[in-house]
C-alpha cells in the first residue's frame, strides 16, 4: 500500500472528520451546485472519475443520489452488492479495499457494523464515504442541515429536537451539534438512548468549547420539542432490528410526532424525517404531509450534498 497517498487522502466516516469551516464549505458548495443544476446543469468536474458503491444494506435515497450525482458531475458510479463481488464469498474487507482503490477514485460503503467502513478507510488509498452504518449516517444529517438553512437560515445557535430511537441518526445529530454549533435535545425511552461513546466524546468537546451548542437527553418528547426550530425523527425499527419490532412499538408509545407535539415547537418550526416513514407509528400522516414538513426537499438535498462531498474528497476542493 502506498503510505504517502494513504496519509494525505481524506475520508468521511463521521461528522467528526469535518472541521467547522469544512462543514460550512460543504453546505455552501451544495447550495451552489443545486443552483447550477436548476439553471442549466453542473460542470463536469468529475469527468473520467469513478465511484465504487458497496451496499450491504438496501437503499433508495443513498443509491440514487450518489449514482445520479456522479452522472451529473460527469463521472461514473458502480453499484456493488455483496452477491455481485467477492465480499459476498468471504473476501476480507481489507483486501477489497486495496483492490478497489486501484480501480476507482472514491468508495462509498453502506453497511451494518461501523467497523467495516473504518477497515475500508484504513486499507483503501481512495477516499471512503460512510453511506450509513448502524452507528452513524453523516451524509443524511448534512443534507438535513442544508435543508434547514435553505428554508430558515443558519442552524447555528438554534434548537433541534430529536424524538424517538437513539439510533445512528441521533448519534450523528450529536456530532453535528458539537461540530456546527446548535442546541440538541434528544427524547428517547430510557433503554433506547444514543451511543454512550458518542455522548461521552460530545460532552468532553463541549466542556472546552466556546460554541453556542449543547446536547441534552430527556425522557419527555414535549420537553424536547418545546420552542424547537426543528423537530426530527426516524423509524422505531431500523434494518436488522425486525425481530425487535413488537417490543419497540410498545416502548415508543408516546414518542410519536403528531400535531400536538409540533404545536410545542416554534410556530415556524420545520419537521424532518430521513425516510422511509411509517405513518401512524413514529409520525402521523398529517405531520408528514403537513405544511411544516420538508421531507421531500430533505430527500432531494441528499443529491446536492453528496455531490459536494464527492468533489471535496476526490478533487481535494
- As a whole number, mean pLDDT of residues 120-126 equals 97
Whether residue 124 sits in one domain with residue 32: yes
Q: Is 110 marked within a binding site?
A: yes
Whether residue 307 sits in one domain with residue 294: no
Lowest model confidence (mean pLDDT) among 166-170, 242-246, 265-269: 242-246
Whether residue 67 sits in one domain with residue 91: yes
* Residue closest to 121 by CA, chosen among 94, 90, 81, 91: 94
Residue percentage of the chain with pLDDT more than 90 = 88
126 lies in a domain? yes
pLDDT tens digits for 21-63? 999 999 999 999 999 999 999 999 999 999 999 999 989 999 9
281 lies in a domain? yes
Q: Which of 114, 134, 273, 274 is catalytic?
A: 274
Domain count, the chain: 2
Whether residue 166 sits in one domain with residue 48: no
4 lies in a domain? no
**Is 122 designated active site?**
no
**Is 220 designated active site?**
no
The domain that holds 226 is classified in CATH as: 3.40.50.1370
195 lies in a domain? yes
**What's residue 208's pLDDT?**
93
**Is 152 designated active site?**
no
239 lies in a domain? yes
2 lies in a domain? no
Give the domain extent around 266.
140-298
On the question of pLDDT at 4 being above 50, the answer is no
Whether residue 144 sits in one domain with residue 51: no
On the question of pLDDT at 170 being above 90, the answer is yes
Give buried/exposed letters for 125-143 (b at 16+ CB in 10 A, else e): bbbbbbbbbbbbbbbbbbb
**What's residue 258's pLDDT?**
98
203 lies in a domain? yes
**What's residue 98's pLDDT?**
95
Q: Is 98 marked within a binding site?
A: no
Whether residue 255 sits in one domain with residue 195: yes
Whether residue 105 sits in one domain with residue 203: no
Q: Sheet of 128-132: strands edge to edge?
A: 76-80, 50-55, 106-110, 128-132
**Is 110 designated active site?**
yes
Cell of 143: 443534507
**What's residue 3's pLDDT?**
42
Residue percentage of the chain with pLDDT more than 70 = 97
pLDDT tens digits for 89-113? 778 889 999 999 999 999 999 999 9
Q: Is 209 marked within a binding site?
A: no
Whether residue 168 sits in one domain with residue 285: yes
Whether residue 151 sits in one domain with residue 125: no
**What's residue 7's pLDDT?**
47
- As a whole number, mean pLDDT of residues 224-239 equals 94
Q: Which of 29, 183, 248, 302 is catalytic?
A: 302
56 lies in a domain? yes
**Is 222 designated active site?**
no
Q: Which of 72, 114, 125, 140 is catalytic?
A: 140
CA distances from 251 to 187, 259, 278 (A): 13, 21, 16
On the question of pLDDT at 217 being above 80, the answer is yes
Q: Which of 137, 248, 266, 273 is catalytic?
A: 137
Whether residue 288 sits in one domain with residue 151: yes
* Omega cis (within 30) before 276: yes
Band of pLDDT at residue 207, cut at 50, 70 and 90: very high
Whether residue 202 sits in one domain with residue 58: no
pTM of the shown model = 0.95
Q: Is 237 marked within a binding site?
A: no
Whether residue 207 sits in one domain with residue 161: yes
**Is 140 designated active site?**
yes
Amino acid at each position: 500500500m502506498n503510505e504517502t497517498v494513504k496519509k494525505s487522502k481524506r475520508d468521511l466516516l463521521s461528522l467528526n472528520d469535518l472541521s467547522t469551516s469544512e462543514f460550512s464549505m460543504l453546505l455552501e458548495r451544495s447550495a451552489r451546485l443545486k443552483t447550477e443544476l436548476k439553471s442549466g446543469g453542473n460542470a463536469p468536474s468529475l469527468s473520467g472519475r469513478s465511484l465504487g458503491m458497496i451496499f450491504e444494506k438496501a437503499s433508495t435515497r443513498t443509491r440514487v443520489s450518489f449514482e445520479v450525482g456522479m452522472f451529473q458531475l460527469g463521472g461514473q458510479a458502480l453499484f456493488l452488492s455483496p452477491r455481485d463481488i467477492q465480499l459476498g464469498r468471504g473476501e476480507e474487507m481489507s483486501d477489497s479495499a486495496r483492490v478497489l482503490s486501484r480501480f476507482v477514485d472514491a468508495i462509498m460503503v453502506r453497511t451494518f457494523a461501523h467497523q467495516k467502513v473504518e477497515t475500508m478507510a484504513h486499507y483503501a488509498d481512495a477516499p471512503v464515504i460512510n453511506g450509513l452504518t448502524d452507528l452513524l449516517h453523516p451524509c443524511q444529517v448534512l443534507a438535513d442541515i442544508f435543508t434547514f438553512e435553505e428554508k430558515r437560515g443558519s442552524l447555528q445557535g438554534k434548537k433541534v429536537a430529536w424524538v424517538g430511537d437513539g439510533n445512528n441518526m441521533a448519534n450523528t445529530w450529536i456530532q453535528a451539534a458539537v461540530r456546527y454549533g446548535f442546541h440538541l435535545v434528544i427524547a428517547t425511552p430510557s433503554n433506547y438512548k444514543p451511543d454512550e461513546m458518542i455522548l461521552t466524546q460530545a460532552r468532553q468537546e463541549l466542556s472546552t468549547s466556546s460554541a453556542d451548542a449543547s446536547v441534552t437527553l430527556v425522557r419527555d418528547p414535549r420537553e424536547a420539542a418545546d420552542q424547537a426550530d426543528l423537530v426530527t425523527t426516524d423509524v422505531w425499527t431500523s434494518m436488522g432490528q425486525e425481530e425487535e419490532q413488537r417490543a419497540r412499538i410498545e416502548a415508543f408509545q408516546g414518542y410519536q410526532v403528531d400535531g400536538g407535539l409540533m404545536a410545542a415547537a416554534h410556530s415556524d418550526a420545520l419537521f424532518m424525517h430521513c425516510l422511509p416513514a411509517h405513518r401512524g407509528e413514529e409520525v402521523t400522516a398529517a405531520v408528514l404531509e403537513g405544511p411544516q414538513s420538508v421531507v421531500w426537499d430533505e430527500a432531494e438535498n441528499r443529491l446536492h450534498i453528496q455531490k459536494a462531498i464527492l468533489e471535496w474528497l476526490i478533487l481535494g476542493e
